[in-house]
Structure 1
Amino acid sequence: MSGWAVIAVTCLVLLSACTPEQPADLASGPSSAAPAPATSASPSQTGADRAKQDALAAYLGMWQDFAEAGTTSDWQSSKLAQHAASLALTNLSRGLYADHYNGLVTKGEATHDARVMSAEPANEPTRVIVTDCSDSTNALKYRADNGQLADSTPGGRRLINGQVELQQDNSWKVTDFAVHEVGTC
């Protein structure tokens, strides 16, 4: 089983066991449009548009921080809290701790094809649901002690649903996510 698959299964188990309400399973497929980086608003951009853009940037930032921490299995990386909070942060840290405990690191990075599925309330969102078709084929686990490939089973394309929420400091952070099996998108 690839490293991403182990993390995905761990996250799914943790989310189903600990989460009273998971992000909605969304049947729609991913969009090929990449999100624009967070920038200052244009005159025609609404508050809802900015919120969606910022939430999507936080979602993608969370996975980038996770991939960076995975290169050393740094489960205590302060970067993880830049874009994740609550259950999302806990699950990322637990996945990295499991790799650290087992002497594994991740080389390579998953790709993401994420888009906003919904935002609530509509005019000034504080909660955004993101759907993503992530491909973990090139993110593999290696033994930290000798650099040998720990598992050559490639990952693949899988659906991820994420919940991103506006925080008290006006930042957007992923608070929950659900990683589905390979082949779900």
Structure 2
Amino acid sequence: MTTFIGKNRRVGEQPCRLRLVAIPIGLSLTAVIGACSTDDRGEVSSSASSSTPRRPVATASAASREAAALDAYRGMWQAYAKAGLTANPQEPDLARYTTGPALALLTSGLTKLRAEGEIIKGQYQSSPHVVTATTPSPAGDTVTVQDCLNTTDFLTYKASSGTLANDTPGGNRAVLATVTRDDVIWKVSTVAAQAVGTC
């Protein structure tokens, strides 16, 4: 199932809705289940996004590992929102916080937006929490993050006119992401979001 956040096809996924072709709210994502918890807000202006999360690194304690994974997850959305302002698939922070399938998904979604003359802007609300975490090993660590992403005001607009790309409303979408540690760096490796109303 393909869904878009941001593209007014809110996803995908709110104003500045990123189309999720996977996760690009603005990208296609596979379906997942989620529930809301604590609240985080992501807001983007014409010049920059909200405060930049610290670069996530691995630590010995479980609490620190989970915090680092959540930092990477939040950083991913901030980077995507920033890139969405100009539909820039080359935004450096995308590679800072994502890797593998997640990075490919986000960049492909942004590439599609740019080709269609659309951008993503507005603000989203995120409430991520850790649901599982593997035992640290030489092969690396893995943490699964679940979120209820509100894209009501995170939508897709036409770059030329500034008008909404469509009249599809945003809303709460369940998101599931895998965050992995390679050496000392934590990055989101996979991310999937469901349709509006799934959390």
Unaligned segments of structure 1, at least 5 residues: 17-21, 40-44
Partners in 1 of 2:64 and 2:54 — Cα distance? 8
Corresponding position of 2:36: 30
**1:4 Cα offset (Å):** 3.0
Higher strand share: 2
Partners in 2 of 1:133 and 1:60 — Cα distance? 12
Amino acid at match of 2:38: S
**1:147 Cα offset (Å):** 1.6
**1:107 Cα offset (Å):** 1.5
2:158 is aligned, of 143, 167, 179, to 143
The number of residue pairs the alignment matches comes to: 169
Sequence identity percentage: 32
**What is the correspondence of 1:41-80 to structure 2 with a 5 Å cutoff?**
47-80=61-94
Corresponding position of 1:19: none
Does residue 1:174 correspond to 2:188, yes or no?
Answer: yes
Corresponding position of 2:99: 85
Corresponding position of 2:143: 128
Question: What root-mean-square deviation, in Å, do the aligned CA atoms of Structure 1 and Structure 2 show?
Answer: 2.8
Higher helix share: 1
Unaligned segments of structure 2, at least 5 residues: 1-7, 14-18, 41-52
Normalised by the size of structure 2, how large is the TM-score? 0.75
Corresponding position of 2:11: 4
**1:48 Cα offset (Å):** 0.9
Partners in 2 of 1:59 and 1:128 — Cα distance? 10
- Asked if structure 1 preserves the Cα contact closer than 8 Å seen for 2:12 and 2:193, the reply is no
- Asked if structure 1 preserves the Cα contact closer than 8 Å seen for 2:122 and 2:154, the reply is yes
Partners in 1 of 2:38 and 2:161 — Cα distance? 38
Q: Judging changes above 3 Å, is the alpha-carbon distance between structure 1 residues 55 and 108 closer, same or farther for their aligned structure 2 residues?
A: same
